[in-house]
Structure 1
Amino acid sequence: MNLFVFGLGFTARCFVARERARFGRVVATTRGTERTGEAPDGVTMRLFSPGEADPRIADDLAASDAVLVSIPPDDGGDPALVRYADALAAGPARWIGYLSTIGVYGDQGGAWIDEATPPAPTHQRTRDRVAVEEAWLDFGRRTGKAVQVFRLSGIYGPGRNPFVKLREGRSQRIVKAGQVFNRIHVADIAATLAASLDRPHPGAVYNVTDDEPAPPQDVTAHAAGLAGLPLPPEVDFESAPLSPMARSFYGENKRVRNARIKAELGVALAYPTYREGLAALKDEGAAAGP
């Protein structure tokens, strides 16, 4: 089996590293020529940017049994689907995974939701995500390809976790009454994608998230205690120095269920809550970052 990856970011790299042995060949894209030399062992890199695309990509897709799409939408939709729909339709891919976000659900007032909850995006970036999700699912219906959408919650893992911010003095304990967020360890995303490869469900949408939505200040406090680091003071949300993007996340409050990945794919989360995830990162020495 050969794999093609559009966008070799944090999550896709973890998946490739975990599953490299199952693929005969892995090809992935980068947006800049200066980064093509950063490929993990055994991965062939191709340039794919708004202004330029490696002409070999079409041939790569013609030899790929699985395709993972891990790039954000642009003004024209999904760049991979817009440019390579015909190549993908004609190719042998028996599994296509699109990485999306639980942000498509918008604000649910703290209520529990699942995949049956209709999307209610509140920002243009999540409205774009909903449109691209539907474009991929429609592509699957029209071509018979097994397209699956994975809605990811807040991703953390080695080099990308609360320990890093605490050690760098960038952590804040922001408090907003009733606010919770779901999270997901990157290794559990990789495991979910691998399970889906083994059990494709054409047209499926999955929430890939942990078991326990939690207030962000509780996660920061737990990490500080594990690492023996000073606890940042509490900061009221209204007066917190946040970027517009960061502030927008606090405008959405929901508790996301993950029962479908367990029932349909047999996923058993290695890190069902932030407690197990942070304990593992500390024990692995990953807390200091890359």
Structure 2
Amino acid sequence: MSEQKVFIFGAGYSGKAFARMRPQAVAVIGTTRSREKFAGLEAAGIEPFEFDGRLSPEIRAKLEETTHLVVSAAPNEDGDPLLNVAHDAITHHMPLLRWVGYLSTVGVYGDYGGAWIDETAQCRPKPGRSQMRLDAEREWHELGEETGRPVAILRLSGIYGPGRNAFVNLANGTAKRLVKQGQVFNRIHVEDIAAALWFLADGEYGGTFNVTDDLPAPPQDVVAYAAGLMGVAPPPEIPFETAQLSPMARSFYGENKRVSNTAIKALGYTLSFPDYRAALDSMWADGSWRGEGDGDKRSPIRRA
């Protein structure tokens, strides 16, 4: 395989997990909006740059050397923040670019009343964040057609992993068991996001892929399972109808669907954590549930 130089625009939780899986010879550059986060990026093996809404000469120079571009930044009312300032740079000044990966959300599908859906399902998002995501997806697809480069859209379900999971919520006393009849959610462990990104990048696959687990489940079941592993009593169940929730949290429960990962599996990708039980079992056994800087002493993950 020819040399890879990866640029992550918006190197947050998922981006850092992706960087930790890099082969040693692969250079990874990433942006953040705050210099205070540079140390965290460097610890994950990322050369950090600050993005303040403009393309600095230093970022432009790194983009010119980039072979694989990963975009993990949320759009806003003005559109995709990278395309707004870098469309010309990407189309005309990235001669080595071979592949683009865009991290989106299964929220673009909207509500399906608990039915199973796959990548062929119609997108009918609510106005707001999910509609902006769908609009950004289309912009990146159009850029791929314009440049002749493959663009992979990864539609992610609820992200969890080290430092962000039911164990952490139980330990700090914020875990809740909200019960809404018939409600289920898909989830995805951050290491499967990272591994799926590398799989698609290495194969330079384009298209739309649901990156999600195989077991959509009621959220209260996840909390109860984690409590069982910890040997603590789960918090009491709270009826959704009487729960005190923010408008955003309540809207989250307004969508109910079971999302299949048909497309990426058809290419040969296998989930490391196909359901929340496998992931929680693993994180509890190795202590990685605490997250970085809090007892997680594992070596960086490497691809085979």
- The aligned residue for residue 135 of structure 1 is 139
For residues 12-27 of structure 1, the aligned pairs below 5 Å read 12-23=15-26, 25-27=27-29
Alignment partner for residue 237 of structure 1, among 210, 220, 240? Answer: 240
In structure 2, distance between residues paired with 1:38 and 1:263: 35
Give the aligned residue type for 1:287: W
Q: Distance in 1 between matches of 2:40 and 2:64?
A: 24
Distance 2:102 2:81 in 1: 12
Contact 2:215-2:275 within 8 A present in 1 as well: yes
The 2-side partners of 1:162 and 1:45 are apart by 30
Residues 159-174 of structure 1: pairs in structure 2 closer than 5 A: 159-174=163-178
Q: 2:228 maps to what in 1?
A: 225
- Work out whether residues 166 and 226 of structure 2, in 8 Å CA contact, stay in contact via their aligned partners in 1: yes
CA–CA distance in structure 2, aligned partners of residues 115 and 87 of structure 1: 30
1:189 alignment partner, SS class:
helix
- 1:172-251 matches, within 5 Å, as 172-202=176-206, 204-251=207-254
**Which residue pairs with 1:33 in the alignment?**
35
**Which amino acid counterpart does residue 286 of structure 2 have in structure 1?**
E
Q: TM-score, normalised by structure 2?
A: 0.91
The answer (yes or no) to whether the contact 2:212–2:260 under 8 Å persists in 1 is yes
Partner residue in 2 for 1:109: 113
Whole-angstrom CA distance in 1 between matches of 2:84 and 2:260: 32
CA displacement at 1:20 relative to structure 2: 4.4
Relative distance call for 1:53 and 1:62 in structure 2 (3 A) is closer
Change (3 A) 1:57 1:129: same
Match of 1:263 in 2: 266
Q: Compute the displacement of 1:47 (Å).
A: 1.1
Counterpart position of 2:69? 67
Counting matched residue pairs gives 286
How far apart in 1 are the matches of 2:40 and 2:270? 32
Structure 1's 22 and 178: CA in aligned 2 closer, same or farther, altered over 3 A?
farther
For residues 38 and 157 of structure 1, the distance between their equivalents in structure 2, rounded to whole angstroms, comes to: 16
Aligned equivalents of 1:12, 1:158: Cα separation in 2: 14
Residue ranges of structure 2 left out of the alignment (5+ in a row) = 293-304
CA RMSD of aligned residues (A): 1.3
**1:87 lines up with 2:89 in the alignment:** yes
SS state at 2:22 partner = helix
Q: Which stretches in structure 1 are left out of the alignment for 5+ residues?
A: none
Shifted more, 159-168 versus 83-92: the winner is: 83-92
Deviations 1:101-129 (A, max 9, x none): 00000111101001101111013100100
1:37-89 alpha-carbon deviations (Å, 9 max, x no partner): 43224421111123x54321111110000000000002211111111112112
Letter in 2 for 1:32: S
Instruction: Read off the aligned partner of 2:160 and give its amino acid letter.
Output: Y
| Contact 1:46 1:54 (8 Å CA) reproduced | no
SS of match in other structure, 2:21:
helix
Aligned residue for 1:40, secondary structure, equals: helix
Indicate the SS of the match to 1:136: helix
Deviation >6 Å, runs of 4+:
none
Once residues 68 and 183 of structure 1 are traced to their aligned partners in structure 2, the CA distance between those partners, rounded to angstroms, is 21
1:76 is aligned, of 60, 70, 78, to 78
Q: Name the counterpart of 1:45.
A: 48
Provide Cα deviations, 1:141-174, integer angstroms capped at 9, x if missing partner.
1110111100000011011100000011101110
Return 96-105 or 185-194, whichever deviates more.
185-194
Q: Distance in 2 between matches of 1:78 and 1:134?
A: 11
TM superposition score normalised by structure 1: 0.95
